Amino acid sequence: MHEKVYERVMESAEAVQKLGGARPRVGLVLGSGLGAFAEGLQEAISVDYGELPHFPVSAVAGHAGRLVLGKARGVPVVVMAGRVHGYEGWTVDELAHGVRVMAAMGIQALVLTNAAGGIHPDLKPGDLMRITDHINLSGRSPLTGPNDERLGPRFPDMSTSYDPAYSDLLESVAAEGKLALRRGVYACMPGPAYETPAEIRMLRSMGADAVGMSTAPEVLAARHMGVRCVGISVITNLAAGIATNPLSHAEVKEVADRVKDRFVDLLERYVPALDEVLEPKA
């Protein structure tokens, strides 16, 4: 961790708070092509990452980068619509920056979403999958380097990283809304190339059900700061070697777009249910 991380996070958090709006209770990170949820927020205040101090700005198509403050069915939220990925060459602190800022703003729950390739034979494109746990094979952690105790402990526990109570709640909300929700382990690979078929066989034998290129570093940063996390993958394609066709970013975006309504429906049902179980409003 860079020595100035804490100061940078606080400066960003202050800049975001100056935009106005209620203090957010829930933070969300919307993955590739999944920005639609932010468009439905009430009383929305939206700002491009480029206008905020210290925020990294992605150059990847489909990763629109803006922070949105607003209300989801009355619940104050802060949303990262788009994220940066390690494969673009960002430092680990840049990868974690947005999540750290949301944590510094006092969110009590963080919902991380992503597009992922399905490895488990039961998963198919268009499925929504609750992340039960992750395997971080990105080779990176935002906690590498000197630790800043103001952010969190040197050796954070990761045994309940995807919060069991909040995850159970996601499952019941999905069931109530008749929205099919799979569950599985997410493997984070470095990218940017999609995996080889041999890598996918390796991941399968390790116990991974889906694969992507994000989320794990963010969860490390959030858990370090004591924020409880929930993860949702949108399965956009069958992983390499399972599919017979070549993988493409266009396919990933197209399937994410097709799933959009169900995905937004799930989040709009989930956020108010989650709000009920958070600490009472100050």
Strands (DSSP E) found in 83-241 = 109-118, 128-136, 182-188, 210-212, 228-238
Of 151 and 238, CB closest to ligand HPA = 238
CA–CA dist 84, 90 (Å, integer): 8
Question: 167 an active-site residue?
Answer: no
Numbers of helices and strands, H then E, in the chain: 7, 9
CA–CA dist 104, 183 (Å, integer): 29
Q: Which of 11, 46, 58, 88 is catalytic?
A: 88
Of 6 and 87, CB closest to ligand HPA = 87
Q: Which of 36, 202, 249, 268 is catalytic?
A: 249
Q: Using an 8 Å Cβ cutoff, are 67 and 18 in contact?
A: no
Of 31 and 98, CB closest to ligand HPA = 31
> How is residue 258 written in tokens?
């097709």
For the bound state, the minimum distance from the C-beta of residue 149 to ligand HPA, rounded and expressed in Å, comes to 34
Place of tokens 């800043």: 148
- When CB distances to ligand HPA are compared, the closest residue is 117
Question: 1 an active-site residue?
Answer: no
Q: What is the largest CA-CA distance in the chain?
A: 54
Q: Which of 32, 114, 167, 233 is catalytic?
A: 32
For the bound state, the minimum distance from the C-beta of residue 247 to ligand HPA, rounded and expressed in Å, comes to 6
Of 50 and 192, CB closest to ligand HPA = 192
Question: 87 an active-site residue?
Answer: yes
Question: 136 an active-site residue?
Answer: no
Please report which residue ranges of the chain form alpha helices under DSSP H: 5-17, 36-39, 92-104, 164-176, 197-206, 216-224, 249-277
Question: 134 an active-site residue?
Answer: no
Question: 233 an active-site residue?
Answer: no
For the bound state, the minimum distance from the C-beta of residue 246 to ligand HPA, rounded and expressed in Å, comes to 11
Torsion of CA 7, 12, 16, 19, to 10 degrees: 90
Question: 115 an active-site residue?
Answer: yes
Residues that bind ligand HPA (CB under 6 A): 115-117, 189, 194-195, 211-213, 236-237, 239, 247, 252
Question: 162 an active-site residue?
Answer: no
Q: Which of 237, 240, 256, 270 is catalytic?
A: 237
For the bound state, the minimum distance from the C-beta of residue 231 to ligand HPA, rounded and expressed in Å, comes to 14
Q: Which of 85, 120, 134, 224 is catalytic?
A: 85
Amino acid, res. 201: R
Residue of 77, 56, 113 lying closest to 256 (CA atoms): 113
- Catalytically annotated residues: 32, 63, 85, 87-88, 115, 213-214, 237, 249
